Chain A
Amino acid sequence: MFNCLFHVIAVSLLVPGAGALADDSPAPDDEIPVVGRPVDLPFSGASGSFEIEARAEPTTIRAEDPIRYTLVIRATAAVRHPPERPALAKLKEFAEAFYVEDAEEPERNPDKQTVEFNYRLKPRRSDVSEIPSVPFVYFNPTIRHATKAFQIRFTDPIPLKVESSDRFAPVPALPEAFYHLATGNGLFEQDRPFRAPSPGSLVLVTIFPVAICAGWYGAWRQLYPTAVRRSRRRQSAAALHALKLLRAASQLSMREQAEQAAAALTRYLHVRFALAAADPTPAEVAESMRRLGVSSRLVVMAARFYAVCDAARYGRSLNRDALADAGARVIIEVEAAAWASQRS
């Protein structure tokens, strides 16, 4: 449509005496020769004299955002043939850098001498830095030599700033928690990442519980001795007590000493061997000890001690120390035998 309109306008207004051409029948001298056409550039089909310029809006965009690109072709002399719409998509530089689409209003005539071709360009990449120049090839019939009559004009390249789409992309839609900051003085803390403990601290950590438990066990043994240990301690205490009484008795009279020595040994044997009788005779002591598995040597020693004590009680004179020594020997021998049997 435009072509016809432009043709009519151009021919009627710009070409003197062109009225004969208004009926769309080109005069023989309107014919555009084939000879001389550039082979590497598309011919616009225009005949006359023209100027071309390009506009783009906007020139700062993000990749794949559209640019309104306008080619303005202005006739500067008589127009024999109007230009056809340049096929930008067929230009290599455009095809590599842009998606070329038709604009909503592909063509318009702002005035009788001008035609505007509109395009929608979308940069394919963010590194596209300009809209390349567009070659416009037309035939100038006023130039007689056919090979020189095909003129080429180029638009100026238009610098373009294609920004990363990040700047324009919407803020990521994240869960609501992301829009709330952690606050407080905890933000200033200087934490450190986990590191394996040093060998020294590992040794400490290993030894410490063992030491604690060893101490606990020792304390437990002291505070809660077993029945055997408790018995052993009690027996030892009885032996010590008996020896102490025997030594103390040496200050008394012979009769009293004999009575106290016998009583001390009886109490000791009562604890050690659970001797039943309160005031046993030498025969009873021997019988009880034998029954409990005490060695015959010890039985004899104990029986002899009781016999000596009886003799002293009934007036027989004895060496004071000999009585105490005899009692002490019995006690020590019994204790020694008891420890020996526990060890074995």
Chain B
Amino acid sequence: MGFAAILILAALHADDLELSRLSSVEIKDRAEAAFESGVHHRDDPEIARREFRKAVTCFEELRRRGARNALLFRNLGNAYFLAGDLPYAILSYRRGLRLSPGDVDLMEGLDLARERVSYPEGSRLGRPGPAGHASWLARIGGEWLIGGAIFLYFTACVGFTRWLMTRRIVLLMLALLSVLGAGVLTLFAVREASKQASGPIVVIAEDSVLLRRGDSLSYPARYETPLNRGVEGRVLARRGNWLQIELSGGEVGWVMTDYALVDDEQNEES
């Protein structure tokens, strides 16, 4: 029994070792082949899931090597989703959307994944937003907001200069409106940036996880309703192997790290 376990572990480790020897292009090819095989065996869930998991392993290896982009996270999210790992699928889509907030494919994937999260009936606990969508500001993306603000500011400068040259009141009005627009966009961009800098994303990894009042099992549950796999929130604090999290509705409580997936990349980046 023990020997068998050692053999299995050795085989898994050998897989990792093998991947680490391959180039990124080879890993990508391997991931694509495994994914295609999974799609091909769609009618046999066991084989399909195994293949999708292989694809996941390869894409995760690319991520481990530093690749961070919306395309990779979209592939990763889809592979996790098809492999039946809903929490990781949601986490992957959220990671991708942090890089590319307006990505339609990622949003569609996240929406579909959220549809499969079993939220308790008659309770709004853990449900994302009114419609489960990111705000239109988040979709535009901070870069575009800042770009728009710079453009409007430049337009205002040009308008004011032309007004000095021609003294046409229309140009002065245009300049003033542009300054106003630039200010508003800058405020929105700052707001988005501060939101990005807020606590890392957390996704509940197990079913029936209770949100507790403190960082120990001896604390009572804050809500009677348990959280299920795929419920999202953000990390407010860490203490030992406990996380203080805030759900989308503002509910705050503690969960064990064993029951949650945390986007630690967010910490590394900030």
Contacts and interface: CB of A to CB of B under 8 A. Distances in A.
A187 B45 contact: no
B71 A196 contact: no
Contacts of B48: 171
A186 B150 CA distance: 28
Given A183-B32, A193-B196, A197-B146, A178 B81 contact: yes
Contacts of B49: 166-167, 171
Contacts of B20: none
Interface stretch (A65-73, A209-217, A316-324): A209-217
B161 A217 contact: yes
Interface residues of B, number: 58
Interface in A121-180: 166-172, 174-175, 177-179
Size range of the chain A interface in the assembly = 35 or more
A188 B108 CA distance: 23
B109 A191 contact: no
Contact of A192 (B99, B153, B193): B99
B240 interface: no
A294 B241 CA distance: 94
A151 B77 CA distance: 60
Contacts of A168: 45-46
B75 A187 contact: yes
A194 B143 contact: yes
Contacts of A212: 157
Interface string B87-105: 0000000000011110001
B68 A213 contact: no
Contact of A195 (B66, B100, B154, B196): B196
A182 interface: yes
Interface in A184-204: 184, 186-197
Interface of A: 166-172, 174-175, 177-179, 181-184, 186-197, 205-206, 209-210, 212-213, 216-217, 220
Given A172-B82, A195-B193, 5 more contacts: A166-B49, A175-B112, A177-B108, A182-B105, A186-B71
